[in-house]
Structure 1
Amino acid sequence: MKFGKELASQMVPEWQDAYMNYHLLKSILKDIESNTDRERNSNRTSTSRTPSKSMTGTQKRKGSAAYRDFSGLTRRHNTKGSSSVPEEEQVILVNMVTSGEDQNSETSKYETMFLMSSEEGGEYELLFFHALDEEFNKVLKFYKSKVEEVQKEAKELNKQVDALVAFRLQVHNNSPRLGFAAAEEDEAEALSPSSKVNNTRTSGSGRAHIDIINETELSSEGCPEGKGKGSNEAKTSNQKNVEGKRNSTSRRPTPAQVLENFKINVTDETPWSILTSMLVSSNHESTFSREELRKIEEQLERAFIEFHQKLRTIKSYSFVNILAFSKIMKKYDKITLRSASKSYLNMIDNSYLGSSDEVRRLVEKVEATFIKHFSNGNRRKGMNTLRPKAIKKKHRITFFLGFLFGCSIALIAAIVVLIHVKDILNSEGRFQYMENIFPLYSLFGFIVLHLVMYGANIYFWRHYHVNYPFIFDFNQGTDIGHREVFLLSTGLAVLSLTGVLSTLEMEMEQDLRSFEALRELVPLGLLIVLLLITVCPVNMIYRSTRYFFLQSVLRCMFAPLYKVTLADFFLADQLTSQVQAFRSLEFYICYYGWGDFKRRRNNCQQSDVYKAFYIIVAVIPYWIRFLQCLRRLFEEKGANHAYNGMKYLSTIVAVVMRTSYDLKKGMTLKIMAGLTSVIATIFGTYWDLVMDWGLLQRTSRNRWLRDKLLVSDHRVYFAAMIINVLLRLSWMQSVLDFHEAPFLHRKALSAIMACLEIIRRGMWTFFRLENEHLNNVGKFRAFKSVPLPFNHDEDEDE
């Protein structure tokens, strides 16, 4: 693999603009190489004609170097980075230009003086070093800012650990004076790799709680007189040290006094707790219970894990960029036959980027602190928690994916052959089948299609380096890839197609007609199996992903009472494209609850209650999004959330009008349905293209698109915009009565329209996340901000 591709694969996607632009510098080197080739060719021609009067490029450079050495040009600009290079071989001089005395300030920059610019083609090399300096200064400035950022976060985490130790001592009723005095002394270097745990004790919840005892005090109190090994002077000195420590201990605050400067920021994120905080005072008083301590530890543990990951990423950023500069300089030496890399790389080694040790020391301190306080001193356990968990690719997933895909194709072929051989399309029960059985199985088709679109999105996200696990806030190492999603979709497809085939077989075969009740219960059995797998507590079939999905569903159900995250409103947007699936669930209740499923009949569709819920079920996903917009408007005070809520409100009105016209014909309802649908379509299309996708920007350098695009072919974006508009007009089939076409059953037409909406949503999903990813790239947001359990007073004196 070429280094350019390797560099791109190791980049943090959100920091890609902060890395050294290897391709830019490589393109400049290609210009230098082409110019050098022309120069060499001309030298060969001149040598063949007049060999005694010509010199090669290397001889010219040696001669010019000797002249500069004789004239003393290099002696006046000697630098530390280039002192190890012989003066006659010096090509560049690298100087640091600062606006103040602090060489590590953000205003300091490095400038390279190219000493051979007068040679033929020297302007290209001068341009190369100018671009090289710009890239290095950019990397250096970004690295300094990130190091300063993590140093501030380390201080904050240090204070959090101090409060945690005090809180633990309060919970476990340790000696307020002696216990906390030793704890505070140990926490003075809370992020220190040399700190040790003298005594650990595990609580009932299984976590390590630290109870540190002053060893000097303990040994002096327990030592009988006359049995010490040291001299009297040593004993006197030891007693003075003990008395000094006791005096300092008496001046140290108790855990209660320390916690007075902290406010605990741990609350249950449940609808009941949120309603309670809204109705009662929001001030949270600590109960010093073990449950509260457990929540604090979990929250602080997540903060340490995220901080450790950030430190490792910054360390990798420094290493990758130094390697990139080394590669590009050695390529420069190879092309130009010079030896400038040694001087420039010496400068990099002596710079803040190459010589600073703060990140490495912080990594060691964080690991030591985490092992001591969160893994009971067990280093292996602590490091397994801190280190990122790599997802192991299993070949059996690919095997079963191919196997199930082949089975689904075979089942589809078998169903088509059976329908053709038995002439089911012309049988007497075809209308009864379409009215009762087809809506039951169509539910699984909608789910399978949505999973296929999601798997395709994951494939393209990974191809274009979209950091979707970070955007969705997946737990580290628990996100699944496109192969796993395709495996789930093909597995569900095989189950549902097997049910369809078995239902047709039992219906058409005379010997199997006695199993009418079993035949009609097959779809219900499939639905029950799907629900059981979704909520199964056993660690199988991607339990972490299933539980993450269920948690998002729960937060969507109680939309205004939970803080809205991107995963929550993203899921709610997906549910707006599954309206027909919700109606299929309603039909399950209708068919098996109030219908005569043994005779394949139902009368509940003519019920007013069913019609009312037919409208309510279609509105639920849009209502959830409307409530989420209200919650975000209340918290963030952004006008865009109000406009977005109005968009969903207009869609709710349009859906109610269209469904009312579908259930009860009338010219007035038809006009209202058409008018409201047009307004909702215009509003929704504009929001999709401009707000969600970030397109249709007139001032962009990519006309009518964005400044930054992941897909190089711009036609993809224009095609997606056109398809989005066309698919959004699918509501016209209900207003223009296309469902009454004689060549297609209305249930089948509704299913086709629902599939088109799912495809549109799948396209929307890719471009929506692409825009979110580019927004994070523009702001260099590569890590999630974990809320800390303690809020402390910022006044240092207090």
Structure 2
Amino acid sequence: MVPEWREAYMNYNYLKTLLKQILIFHRRQTSSHVNSLPPSKAASLKRRTSLFRAFSGLTNRYGNSSPKKDKEDEVILVSAMQTVDEEQGEDGQSYQTTFLRSPEEGGELELVFFRGLDHEFNKVVHFYKTKVDEVVKQAEELSEQMDALIALRIKVNNRVNPRAAAVSPFINETNTGSYPLDAIHEEQQEKRSHDARGYKMASLEVLKHVKLNATPKTPRSTIKNVFKSLNLDLRFNKNEVRDAQEKLKQAFIEFHQKLRFLQNYAFLNQLALSKIMKKHDKITSRNASDAYLKMVEDSYLSQSDEVAKLIGRVESAFVKHFCNGNRNQGMNTLRPKAKREKHRLTFFVGCFFGFSLALVVAIIASVRARDLLKSEGRTQYMNTIFPLYSLFGFLVLHMLMYAGNVYFWTRYRINYSFIFGFKPHTELGFLQVLLLSFGLSVLTLAAALSNLEMELDPTTKSYKVVTELLPLALLIVVLLIIVCPFDIFYRANRFFFLVCLYHCICAPLYSVTLPDFFLADQLTSQVQLLRNLQFYVCYYGWGDFKKRNAETCNNSDVYDVFFILIAVVPYWIRLVQCIRRLCEERDSTQAQNGFKYFSTIAAVVTRALYSKKKGITLKIIAASTSGVATVFSTYWDIVMDWGLLCRNSENPWLRDKLILPNKSIYFIAMVLNVILRLAWMQTVLDFHETPSVHRNALIAIFASLEIIRRGIWNFFRLENEHLNNVGKFRAVKSVPLPFSYEDGYKNL
């Protein structure tokens, strides 16, 4: 199934439930009749009934090869009726089955089954016809877009004389001059001019009636759009040809995927109809499937060939115009092969997990053996080395939460790959994410264990430089892996992450997409990680690592200022992203969302100031701003991002559509969200001054709770997004087309 079209498929389970009721009725009737017979006759009757059950056939898909029945043996009559779609005002066709054996005992149950079957079949046919009409219109639009692209290529390249240059690249193998998509309306073929060789002529007049859909997507174009109106007229340069071609290429890929979805949709529903009718015949010992499946074969669902023709034309056009005639390259792009899970992936995940556990045990044993928790160097270690390694701990925890998200998204058929916009079959499964997580944890724990074994140099009473550089070396290795240009360590995903991160840094100069603001939301839960990065710069940049002392960082006013600014950056990114979306989409909810992040910025700043300067006034201000931000953010999480707390919903205080079977999980998640959002109270109530636990350890614990809260938020946020796509039957990305035609203009 296409997950977003789930409601449009035939409800097979519902029809099986109706058949089960018929089966129970027949078993009761048979058992009561058999019980009234002597034992010998009852056994003989059971054998005879099993011998005379309907045979499903060996070769025919729908079982239409069975002998013709007399009219008196007919079970159903299927008739087609003309209907009018009240919403669109169009004529349509619906099918109705008349059950001829309803007066028989138990016939009312079969009558209910056939009514349900008709309803499901008519739903499928209506949806399929609606989608076919959509793709036909999209094909016509893509044809017009290709006309403009070809004319623009000719104008820019200008390699031959104008008349010869007007030869369109849309030429089939027999030089009949048919366009790959225009064959939908072949009557227009005669209206197009051909040269002496039979080639289609591409008119440059098209360029006088089209404009480029120039949307400000880059920082440069955004800034230009602010200071002057953007010129939408064609300037006929190679950059525009390349950009237009890239947009059309992506549009063809998405269009081809939609066509394949439709083709599979028709096949699956026909298969389901065949199987459910065979089940009916087996249970009732009737032969009604022949008549019904004959109607299915004659219906629009089976007879329509627009989708198959369009698939062939799209593939031909894509190979010719976007792959230089290389069919293998074109088909690999349009029909990418599914990923194959390898056993070594599971093996290495298990290995790294085992290594991580062993290193954790070794660290605990080393700490207890040396009694490091009560040693003089405990405070020094917690103030310097612990923040350096806790950065990787936050990163590993976030990756583990994401692995859990991916596992449950996959289990409950939430199409996270489509929602995030990953290239087909490049998304990471939960095993791949676990592999990266445990691999990083092994490196981190091994380096941390090495640092525990390092002691002061007896002569200089200072720590060795090489040993103190271990955390920095580990950080450099991780950064080099992330930016590595070679096709290793899931390059497509690393590049996708870097692009989204760059868009976040440059906000609001880029148009905001879901992956961009989703990543920015993740950064808001990693404030402590960003502060640890700041500590790296200070600790190694100012040379404190040579003596394992962070006095320079702790006593610097510049460090304190950046300590506040670093915490504000993620929320500032989300604020300006909301402003950008408000300007583009004119959606008032973005203004409210922006105010949420503004209130959070105020809370973060006042809490940071209180943690540095103390004072009862700052404490009251920090508590007040944090309380307001928490209430607003909690409401937004549960109501807007998760779509819950709907009073008049089918599921009280939840929403009409739920994916998880256990409703209590939603209420538990809401309660946990509220509790974990109160982690800021550890700053205001001075929990970090607990003598038994070091301040940095407490900060790390509360930072980890926020990461866990974000992981829970991620699942329900994407669940809500997925259900919105399901409600709109949105299964492929909407790609903006490069050209727009004047009103009333038609291609020559």
**TM-score, scaled to structure 2:** 0.91
Deviation for aligned residue 1:385: 1.5
Could you say which residue in structure 2 is the equivalent of 1:347?
Answer: 295
Q: Quick check: 2:75–2:286 contact (8 Å CA) kept in 1?
A: yes
The 5-angstrom pairing of residues 270-285 of structure 1 reads: 270-285=218-233
The 5-angstrom pairing of residues 180-579 of structure 1 reads: 180-181=166-167, 189-191=178-180, 216-217=196-197, 254-255=203-204, 257-265=205-213, 269-507=217-455, 516-579=464-527
Q: 1:740 to 1:116 in 2, by over 3 A?
A: same
**CA distance in 2 between partners of 1:406 and 1:399 (Å):** 11
Name the aligned partner's letter for residue 140 of structure 2.
K
**CA distance in 2 between partners of 1:285 and 1:533 (Å):** 43
Name the aligned partner's letter for residue 301 of structure 2.
L
SS in 1 for 2:469: helix
Q: Quick check: 1:150–1:311 contact (8 Å CA) kept in 2?
A: yes
Q: Quick check: 2:139–2:181 contact (8 Å CA) kept in 1?
A: no
2:10 matches 1:20: yes
**CA distance in 2 between partners of 1:667 and 1:675 (Å):** 12
2:60 matches 1:112: no
The 5-angstrom pairing of residues 703-714 of structure 1 reads: 703-714=652-663
**CA distance in 2 between partners of 1:589 and 1:273 (Å):** 34
Deviation for aligned residue 1:182: 5.4
**Of 131, 149, 161, the match for 1:164:** 149
**Of 36, 42, 58, the match for 2:26:** 36
Deviation for aligned residue 1:388: 2.9
SS in 2 for 1:178: helix
2:123 matches 1:138: yes
The 5-angstrom pairing of residues 597-746 of structure 1 reads: 597-602=545-550, 603-746=552-695
Could you say which residue in structure 2 is the equivalent of 1:87?
Answer: 71
Q: Quick check: 2:16–2:276 contact (8 Å CA) kept in 1?
A: yes
- Per-residue displacement from partner, 1:354-408 (whole Å, max 9, x unpaired)? 1111100111111111122122222222211211331121222111111111111
Q: Quick check: 2:456–2:463 contact (8 Å CA) kept in 1?
A: no
**Of 175, 186, 197, the match for 2:161:** 175
Q: Quick check: 2:150–2:202 contact (8 Å CA) kept in 1?
A: no
**CA distance in 1 between partners of 2:661 and 2:122 (Å):** 29
Q: 1:427 to 1:45 in 2, by over 3 A?
A: closer
**CA distance in 2 between partners of 1:627 and 1:501 (Å):** 42
Q: Quick check: 1:266–1:296 contact (8 Å CA) kept in 2?
A: no
Deviation for aligned residue 1:37: 1.0
Deviation for aligned residue 1:83: 12
Name the aligned partner's letter for residue 334 of structure 2.
L
Does 180-189 or 15-24 show the bigger shift?
180-189
- Per-residue displacement from partner, 1:583-605 (whole Å, max 9, x unpaired)? 10111111112242111123222
Does 450-459 or 701-710 show the bigger shift?
701-710
Q: 1:604 to 1:797 in 2, by over 3 A?
A: closer
- Per-residue displacement from partner, 1:68-95 (whole Å, max 9, x unpaired)? xxxxxxxxxxxx9999643132100011
Does 503-512 or 145-154 show the bigger shift?
503-512
The 5-angstrom pairing of residues 754-769 of structure 1 reads: 754-769=703-718
Name the aligned partner's letter for residue 108 of structure 1.
Q
Could you say which residue in structure 1 is the equivalent of 2:724?
Answer: 775
**CA distance in 1 between partners of 2:215 and 2:728 (Å):** 30
**CA distance in 2 between partners of 1:651 and 1:765 (Å):** 19
Q: Quick check: 2:22–2:106 contact (8 Å CA) kept in 1?
A: yes
Does 720-729 or 287-296 show the bigger shift?
287-296
- Per-residue displacement from partner, 1:50-70 (whole Å, max 9, x unpaired)? x9xxx99x99xx9xxxxxxxx
SS in 2 for 1:507: coil
Deviation for aligned residue 1:265: 2.6
RMSD: 2.9
Could you say which residue in structure 1 is the equivalent of 2:188?
Answer: none
**CA distance in 2 between partners of 1:328 and 1:630 (Å):** 53
Does 423-432 or 127-136 show the bigger shift?
423-432
**CA distance in 2 between partners of 1:797 and 1:694 (Å):** 44
Name the aligned partner's letter for residue 685 of structure 2.
L
Identity %: 54
Deviation for aligned residue 1:762: 0.2
SS in 1 for 2:92: coil
Name the aligned partner's letter for residue 74 of structure 2.
Q
Name the aligned partner's letter for residue 608 of structure 2.
T
Deviation for aligned residue 1:436: 1.1
2:700 matches 1:751: yes
Deviation for aligned residue 1:284: 3.3
**Of 528, 539, 545, the match for 1:591:** 539
**CA distance in 1 between partners of 2:745 and 2:70 (Å):** 54
Q: Quick check: 2:168–2:202 contact (8 Å CA) kept in 1?
A: no
**CA distance in 1 between partners of 2:81 and 2:331 (Å):** 42
Deviation for aligned residue 1:463: 0.2
**CA distance in 1 between partners of 2:460 and 2:282 (Å):** 80
SS in 1 for 2:19: helix
Name the aligned partner's letter for residue 531 of structure 1.
L
Deviation for aligned residue 1:471: 0.5
Deviation for aligned residue 1:310: 0.6
- Per-residue displacement from partner, 1:398-425 (whole Å, max 9, x unpaired)? 1111111111111111111111111111
Q: 1:513 to 1:630 in 2, by over 3 A?
A: same
Q: Quick check: 1:82–1:346 contact (8 Å CA) kept in 2?
A: no
Q: 1:154 to 1:420 in 2, by over 3 A?
A: same
**CA distance in 1 between partners of 2:165 and 2:558 (Å):** 67
- Per-residue displacement from partner, 1:706-750 (whole Å, max 9, x unpaired)? 111111111111111111111111111111111111110100000
Deviation for aligned residue 1:510: 7.1
Q: 1:83 to 1:44 in 2, by over 3 A?
A: closer
Q: 1:142 to 1:790 in 2, by over 3 A?
A: same
Q: Quick check: 1:390–1:477 contact (8 Å CA) kept in 2?
A: yes
Does 501-510 or 181-190 show the bigger shift?
181-190
Name the aligned partner's letter for residue 97 of structure 1.
M
Could you say which residue in structure 2 is the equivalent of 1:122?
Answer: 107
Which consecutive unaligned segments of at least 5 residues does structure 2 have? Answer: 53-63, 185-192
**CA distance in 2 between partners of 1:12 and 1:509 (Å):** 65
Does 473-482 or 36-45 show the bigger shift?
36-45
**CA distance in 2 between partners of 1:469 and 1:85 (Å):** 51
SS in 1 for 2:508: helix
**CA distance in 2 between partners of 1:660 and 1:571 (Å):** 27
**CA distance in 1 between partners of 2:10 and 2:559 (Å):** 63
**CA distance in 2 between partners of 1:129 and 1:151 (Å):** 33
Name the aligned partner's letter for residue 429 of structure 2.
G
Deviation for aligned residue 1:184: 7.4
**CA distance in 2 between partners of 1:568 and 1:637 (Å):** 19
Q: 1:510 to 1:214 in 2, by over 3 A?
A: farther
**CA distance in 1 between partners of 2:386 and 2:496 (Å):** 31
Name the aligned partner's letter for residue 130 of structure 1.
R
SS in 2 for 1:96: strand
**CA distance in 2 between partners of 1:98 and 1:498 (Å):** 74
- Per-residue displacement from partner, 1:281-320 (whole Å, max 9, x unpaired)? 2113434333332222221111111111110110000000
Q: Quick check: 2:216–2:225 contact (8 Å CA) kept in 1?
A: no
Q: 1:380 to 1:86 in 2, by over 3 A?
A: farther
Does 593-602 or 80-89 show the bigger shift?
80-89
Q: 1:317 to 1:564 in 2, by over 3 A?
A: same
Q: 1:261 to 1:672 in 2, by over 3 A?
A: same
**CA distance in 1 between partners of 2:137 and 2:473 (Å):** 57
2:83 matches 1:99: yes
